[in-house]
Amino acid sequence: MSMNLKPKYPLVSVIMPVYNGADFLAEALSDLQQQRYQPLEIIIVDDGSVDETATIAAQFKEDIRYVYQSNQGPAAARNTGIKLATGELIAFLDVDDLWAKNRLSTQVDFLATRPEIDIVQGLIQDLELVRIPHDSPIFEVNSEAYYSVNLGSALYRREVFDTVGLFDETLRYNEDTDWFIRAWDNNIKKAQLDEVALFYRKHDGNMTNRNNSKQSGFVWLLKKRLDQHREHGNLSGRAASGQSVSITEYIGWKK
């Protein structure tokens, strides 16, 4: 007598760096649980918070792995999470953002049927803070969904980090842009899905809204990387071509 066995799904490690994110943490964790994907490993890296982050995380202690470190910046927090992760696939979620419903299962299924793809990325939908009634912030859609450099919109095979390396901990901003430039330069294969994966909630506390521009950051980081290659005489990958690359071409990079 044959038995129908439930298919084995890969373990996904979700890494959430948090710095003073108590106002958003409970909602972000509840959102992850509503993905209804298993097996799921949630790793919270508290990067030196001085608010109630630890207290709120303790309420979810049966469902998460919580680690605390002194404040070292988002790159270091993400690297700590990667080193602790045990999943075949890795995802990132900033504490103040949310994922689209079933986003995780959609991207896992895509990678399962396309072993040649290393990263699958979805669309990003901006949400603007409009008001805060009774300490509960209200966000509304303020633009069309788009592709851009945002770690939270993609799902990654673990071995990609062996090829590309970890995040540059000397960067307090644009560490994600720097990593994607290195992935692009190493010919990592990425695919894009025309479905919203990430709801990016814009508010005064966003690190990317303070003293930071993705476009100017991209130009600076790409120049920095090319200069490093030239200095050491080791131009390789796409950087070796010497071709002019615009941010639009880079963001649109696929396999």
Residue in the block written with tokens 């207290």: 55
Find how far residue 138's CA is from the centre of its chain: 23
Write down the pLDDT at residue 191: 97
**pLDDT in the model for residue 8:** 79
pLDDT of residue 237: 57
DSSP 107-141: HHHHHHH-TT-SEEEEEEEEEEEEE-GGG--EEEE
What is the pTM for the complete model shown? 0.81
Determine the Cα–Cα distance for residues 172 and 73; give it in Å rounded to an integer: 6
CA distance 15 to 12: 10
Average pLDDT by stretches of 10, the chain with 255 residues: 58 98 94 92 98 97 96 97 98 95 95 97 83 56 82 97 97 92 94 94 53 51 60 55 49 55
Yes or no: domain 12-251 corresponds to CATH 3.40.50.11720: no
Return the pLDDT at 231: 62
Q: Rounded distance, CA 22 to CA 49, Å?
A: 9
pLDDT reported for residue 22: 95
What confidence score (pLDDT) does residue 3 get?
Answer: 47
Q: What is the pLDDT of residue 141?
A: 57
